[in-house]
Structures are given as C-alpha cells and as structure tokens.
A = this chain, B = another copy of it.
Amino acid sequence: MRKEEIIETFKFRHATKEFNPNKKVKEDDFKFILETGRLSPSSIGIEPWKFLVIENPDLKDKLHKVTWGGKGQIPTASYFVIILARTIKDVKYDSQYIKKHMLDVKGFPPELLGKIQERYKSFQENDLHLLESERTIFDWSIKQTYIALANMMTAAAQIGIDSCPIEGFDYDAVHTILDEEGLLENGHLDISVMVTFGYRVKEPRPKTRKPFNEIVEWIK
C-alpha cells in the first residue's frame, strides 16, 4: 500500500458525532471491521476481548440513556458495539481460561504449560505489578482491547466508513444493564469501551494534533 494513501485514511478518521441514519454500513463491511479486531494482537496472545453488537432496540435504548458520550451516535449509527474485556477470573496467570487458550487455541504442548505459567506469574506479579488489585489486572486486559478498538476504527476508515469510540458513559449503570442481560459471563467479562460505525452527515472540523517534534524524541 502507498504511505500517502494510508496517511489520508488517518486524516479521514475522526470521532463522528452523528451518522447518516439513511445510509447503512453493509453487513459484509462491518464483518470485515470485526475481523480486523479479531486478528489484532494482545499481550501473551490471550485475546481477552468480546465484541457485543447491540441490535436489540430496547437494550440499545436503555444503554443510550446512560451514555452521554453517545447521545448523537447511538441512535444514528449503523452498528453499535460494546467491547468487553476479560477480568481477573480469566486473565490471571493461573486461570482456566489461559490454560485452555494455550492448549486449544495456540496448540502449545501440555508439558510446556507449567513453565509458561511460571513465566506469566513472574511477568504479571514482578515485572508489571499487575496483581496489585482486581482493577489493575483488568485495566491491563482493557489495554489489549484498545489495540482491537484502534484497528477496527482504522480499518473502517480505510474503506471509507466512519466511527466514534465512546468512553463517556455511566460505568456502573452500563454494567448493571449488561449483567442483567447475562452478557458478562458471570463476572468473567466487564466493560472496556464502546464504538459506533456509520457514515458521517457532515464534514468534521480540521484535525488538530501536536507537532511531530513535540511527541517524538530521538535519544542519540
């Protein structure tokens, strides 16, 4: 691909506040976007994410009411996704989830598991201090989901589809709503971030960013 063309797609992408309700993203294009999320990398390869596509009108309405950051986006978007992240129950080094993932998804030989688990323990406990609290390891899990979030927004932009990530919601209220619907797998999943996809209705303000030399430092 050409660099100039890629940079153009990065400039095209903006946090779209309102989508064109009459121009729906094709399901095939949306599945392509999700596929780039699926193919995203994550720490120790554990894919600690789930993508909920909220199409049920009642549920969407309930979520909309507690999401001030999605006032214009949720009702107009073609697709409304809640990205969930796996909690300590699944992402702590000695979880059943990781064990199963190593064997069934990554196909590691069972006799290596002990050694791998020891390495992950040291990584989580000693290197990054991830086990200070349930929240610190959950936040680590969320960090991985932001890789998938980024890739989905970038891939969308590369085929001309707009998006808006949404962090502006009442976390506890959204948690309660999803939990009541049984969507959090008994505490194995919790909310990371929301993201909406559609087509813009109007052109955004010009993009603002700090100059290159303020954010890049070369240590020679």
Contact = CB atoms under 8 A, between A and B. Distances in A.
Contact of A217 (B3, B52, B140, B143): B52
A40 to B, nearest CB: 7
Interface string A48-81: 0111111110010000000010000000000000
A107 B208 contact: yes
Nearest to A31: B212
Contact of A170 (B3, B127, B155, B167): B127
Interface residues of A, number: 81
A209 B10 CA distance: 27
A219 B84 CA distance: 14
Contacts of A151: 10, 150-151, 154
A149 interface: yes
Interface string A132-151: 10011001101110111111
Interface of A: 1, 3, 5-7, 9-11, 13-15, 29, 31-32, 34-41, 43, 45, 47, 49-56, 59, 68, 105-107, 123, 126-129, 132, 135-136, 139-140, 142-144, 146-151, 153-155, 158-159, 165, 167-171, 181, 183, 207-210, 212, 215-220
